Amino acid sequence: MMNFGKQTIRFQNKPRVLSGYSIVGPKEASGPLDPYFHKRLRKDDFGQRSFEKAECKLHMSAISGAIIAAGLTPKDIDVNIGGDLLNQIITSSFSARELDIPFIGMYSACSTFGQSLALGAMLIDGGYAEKVTCSTSSHFSTAERQYRYPLELGTQMTPTSQWTVTGAGCTLLGNMGGNIFVESATIGKVIDFGISDANNMGAAMAPAAAKTVVQHLLDTGREVSYYDHIVTGDLGIYGSKLFLELLESEGIHAAGVHKDCGEMIFDKKQRCPQGGSGAGCSSVVFNSYFLHHMSAGAIKRILLVPTGALLSKLSSLQGETIPGIANAVSFEREE
Amino acid sequence: MMNFGKQTIRFQNKPRVLSGYSIVGPKEASGPLDPYFHKRLRKDDFGQRSFEKAECKLHMSAISGAIIAAGLTPKDIDVNIGGDLLNQIITSSFSARELDIPFIGMYSACSTFGQSLALGAMLIDGGYAEKVTCSTSSHFSTAERQYRYPLELGTQMTPTSQWTVTGAGCTLLGNMGGNIFVESATIGKVIDFGISDANNMGAAMAPAAAKTVVQHLLDTGREVSYYDHIVTGDLGIYGSKLFLELLESEGIHAAGVHKDCGEMIFDKKQRCPQGGSGAGCSSVVFNSYFLHHMSAGAIKRILLVPTGALLSKLSSLQGETIPGIANAVSFEREE
């Protein structure tokens, strides 16, 4: 048993959100959430010689941005927890090389931000550390060529495709200050519904998201209405529909409360069939739109549920299906 | 600040080692540590259709083995923390799919076992969970073809090469039982000494290992002699020499106390120029040889320092150097 039910941890000491920072590429900056982002790139190569180096600079900028926004310096940070989608999470590791902060690397695909926040909150809550950064990133061009096809092929997107978000987000957690805190976290299980289409991630992740949310509500004894919003990471339009139907089948009506970062970040004119995805998707949307509205008092409680599809190019080539995972992190605003 | 100095966490509630399990390939079973391993494969494909599926079965066997050795069932385990060297850590994720236990995926190359133990100990120590498995694995044939060359090429090893260990190890931590406990953990920084040869990992990791050990001694106010052994993960012969020299330059004499899992696992007749390496190296050696001797009372205190080289095939091709990382975890035996 965990300290708050079967899969859920409660943080008694209310680890605080000291700051959040988001940096995005030009396509994301042309979307509906533009006013909320902290920094926008004019070109998605960020002045670097490769997209991988650009993603690394994005990741580093998000961490630095959060540290500066909290009025701190890197010396004040005890642990930097990070992850990304690239092989051997080189984006996060190479960012950590520049930062001189103890580093913990995580990977659970696009659900990594949830894992990082859960571990960060534990470090603070348990009195092990005082200040921790939790960051994730993704880049359309690095993900596309690693997971799918060379960019030069100009491969067309399928109707169920999602567009990997170019962006990085970082949340700085601390043991005091601010009025938004991490209340609890539910650690997800790996769920496989037998989806094998790498262009249909929403369907692969929806069952894991539904299962984690059901477990969170069970563990905490809460109704959906406890939260202003249940915010999934990157299910996209089709995946969100599936997610809501799966919850309905358990007698849970979440339609009015549910939002999906992948659906929110692009609008229909931007030609992303199902919306955004990527390890950076939930982190840029949470650290911009949601933290903004929580700070302003318009949103008091959210359950953030970053969702991940666990595959590699090789696992797909070897005929494996795509299991999903989702971690839920509950944030509350103290009055 | 962490709760025990700059980079070190102390676990006040003494998270217990309930069991350890190691499973290795035929080459490892022909080495000097053979009597200590729990299970040995006769063929390194483990009856699977690919080496990747074999590694997955190894990883799962290690987790199941540790659970059974502790007299428990998977239902008793709150969190499964795992990592490996494959792209998107598919070994650990796909193992987690079979196990129905909440999963946290980690990556810091061959240092992953250290990270996993630190997080696992925190989950237990903070009262967040009651039983946690920490596991890592590697496989010569999956690592070789992912990081270096196709196996069919029969590429010769260079004099500084290490042989990736085929094996998986798992430690089961709990809040009560047994007399070996996790005392503290030092989270490492990413250190880059400018090594760019993917066949010379020992040199890339030695500076990070030295730095983490120096910081651990500084944070805890201890001398090297506090420990029966300081056990690095996979520096190999050359890397170990470098590690000891770097410590000497800081006035720390560790030659009598130092052991390296990579050096221990193979002997000279086995034609591995520098010894073993891989995320499975430190975990199979710790869970066999060291846990055995701690249980028997011959060893009372060790500082386990799994060491990782942070690179991907792509980072090497893009001309990046290879930064290293090392996490230190201190185990003690209660009388």
Does the interface ipTM go beyond 0.85? yes
Q: Searching chain B, which residue's CA lies closest to the CA of residue A318? A: B50
**Predicted pLDDT at B327:** 98
Residues 6+ apart with CB under 8 A from A201: A162, A234, A236, A239, A277, A309, A322
Closest CB to A100 among B94, B189, B318:
B189
pTM score, two decimals? Answer: 0.98
- Stated as kind and residue range, the H or E segment containing A18 is strand A16-24
Please answer yes or no on whether A189 and B102 come within 8 Å at the CB atom: yes
Interface of B with A in 258-297 (CB under 8 A): none
Please state which of the ranges A228-237, B26-35, B113-122, B265-274 shows the lowest mean pLDDT.
B265-274
Q: Searching chain B, which residue's CA lies closest to the CA of residue A100? A: B189
Please answer yes or no on whether B189 and A78 come within 8 Å at the CB atom: no
Q: How far is B172 from chain A (nearest CA, A)?
A: 15
Stretch B257-261: mean pLDDT, rounded?
98
Please state which of the ranges A71-85, A210-224, B264-278 shows the lowest mean pLDDT.
B264-278
Stretch B287-299: mean pLDDT, rounded?
98
Stretch B56-75: mean pLDDT, rounded?
98
pLDDT at A157 over 90: no
B157 pLDDT band, cuts 50/70/90, is confident
**Predicted pLDDT at B237:** 95
Distance CA A107, CA A74 (A): 23
Stretch A274-291: mean pLDDT, rounded?
97
Question: Which residue ranges form the domains of chain A, and what is each CATH number?
Answer: 8-174 (3.40.47.40), 181-333 (3.40.47.40)
Over residues B161-203, the pLDDT tens digits come to 999 999 999 999 999 999 999 999 999 999 999 999 888 899 9
Nearest CA to B9 out of B262, B227, B186 is that of B186
B85 pLDDT band, cuts 50/70/90, is very high
Phi, psi of A282 (to 5 degrees): -65, -30
pLDDT at B309 over 90: yes
Over residues A17-48, the pLDDT tens digits come to 999 999 999 999 999 999 999 999 999 999 99
The mean pLDDT value of chain A amounts to 97
